[in-house]
Amino acid sequence: MPPLPGTGAHPEAEFPEYAGTYRLEACLGSGGMGVVHLARSASGLQLAVKVVHRPYAADPEFRARFRQEVAAARRVSGAFTAPVVDADPDAGRPWMATLYVPGPTLAEQVKRNGPLAPAELRRLTAGLAEALRDIHRAGVIHRDLKPSNVLLSDAGPKVIDFGISRPYDSDLRTETGKLIGSPPYMAPEQFQRPREVGPAADVFALGAVLVHAATGRGPSTRTARTSWRTRWCTTRRI
C-alpha cells in the first residue's frame, strides 16, 4: 500500500512524529480505530506502524482489546502474514509495528483492474488458505477477513489487521448484541452467536473474498447490516 499524499500535521496531532523509537515518515491509511504510518527502524527496515486514535487511548476497555490484538498478531507466523516487529499497548498512544508489505490491497487491485486472472486467482486462493492454516494453528480466529485486509505483494498475499481477532483462550468476550466484523463477509454464526465464532467463520469469509476476486463484484458493502443478517441467517441452503 503506497503512502497517501498530504500527510502533514493534523490539528490534534493525529499524526505524531514518533511511535516509541520509530520515526513516522508517511501515512499509509486511516481507519476507525487508528492510523497506519510508514516508518523505518534504526537498521533501515521499513515498518507499518498502527497508532491508535487519541480518544480510544483513554478507554481502558479499548486498551485491553488492543493488547489482545497485539497478542494475537504476535502468535501468528507464516509466509502469508505480516510479522509483528515491536509494540507498546501501554504507551500514551498505543501502537504496533509490523513489517511493511509494499503492494495494493485486494480491494484496490480489483477496483483498479477488475477481476483477477485465473493464475492470479489460484495463487491468491493457495496463499490465503495457507495464511488461515497458520492463523488457526496459532489458536487465533481473524474474524474480519475481507479484500481490504489482504495485501498483494510480490511474494504472495498477506493477511493483515488483527484488530478484532481473538485467541481461542482469550478472557475477553464480545458484548451481547454487538456485531463484530464486516457484514458482507461475516458467517451466519457471527450474527447469531458471536461469542461462539470459530475457524469456520474465517473459511466462510475466505469464500466471499474469493468471489470478489473472481467476479469483481462480491457482496455490496452498502447493504444494511440487518439485510445481511436476514439473508445469511434465514436463506435455506442446499
SS (H, E, C) the chain: CCCCCCCCCCCCCCCCCEECCEEEEEEEEECCCEEEEEEECCCCCEEEEEEECHHHHCCHHHHHHHHHHHHHHHHCCCCCECCEEEEECCCCCCEEEEECCCCCEHHHHHHHHCCCCHHHHHHHHHHHHHHHHHHHHCCEECCCCCHHHEEEECCEEEECCCCCCEECCCCCCCCCCCCCCCHHHCCHHHHHCHHHCCHHHHHHHHHHHHHHHHHCCCCCCCCCHHHHHHHHHHCCCC
Residue 15's pLDDT is 67
Question: 155 and 227: one domain?
Answer: yes
Instruction: From first to last of the 238 residues of the chain, give the pLDDT tens digit.
Output: 555 544 433 434 456 789 999 999 999 988 778 899 999 998 999 999 999 999 999 999 889 989 988 988 898 878 899 999 999 999 999 999 999 999 999 999 999 999 999 999 999 999 999 999 999 999 988 888 999 999 999 999 999 987 766 666 555 444 544 555 677 788 877 777 767 788 999 999 999 999 999 999 876 545 544 555 555 555 544 4
Question: 178 and 212: one domain?
Answer: yes
Question: 226 and 110: one domain?
Answer: yes
Residue 154's pLDDT is 93
Q: Is 144 a catalytic residue?
A: yes
Question: 136 and 214: one domain?
Answer: yes
Question: 91 and 117: one domain?
Answer: no
CATH number at residue 40: 3.30.200.20
Question: 124 and 82: one domain?
Answer: no
Report yes or no on 185 lying in a domain. Answer: yes
Residue 210's pLDDT is 97
- pTM greater than 0.85 (yes/no): no
Which is catalytic among the residues 59, 86, 144, 169? 144
Residue 150's pLDDT is 96
Which residue among 67, 84, 99 closes a domain?
A: 99
Report yes or no on 3 lying in a domain. Answer: no
Question: 207 and 110: one domain?
Answer: yes
Number of domains, the chain: 2
Residue 224's pLDDT is 44
Residue 7's pLDDT is 40
Which residue among 62, 83, 99 closes a domain?
A: 99
Domain limits at 76? 18-99
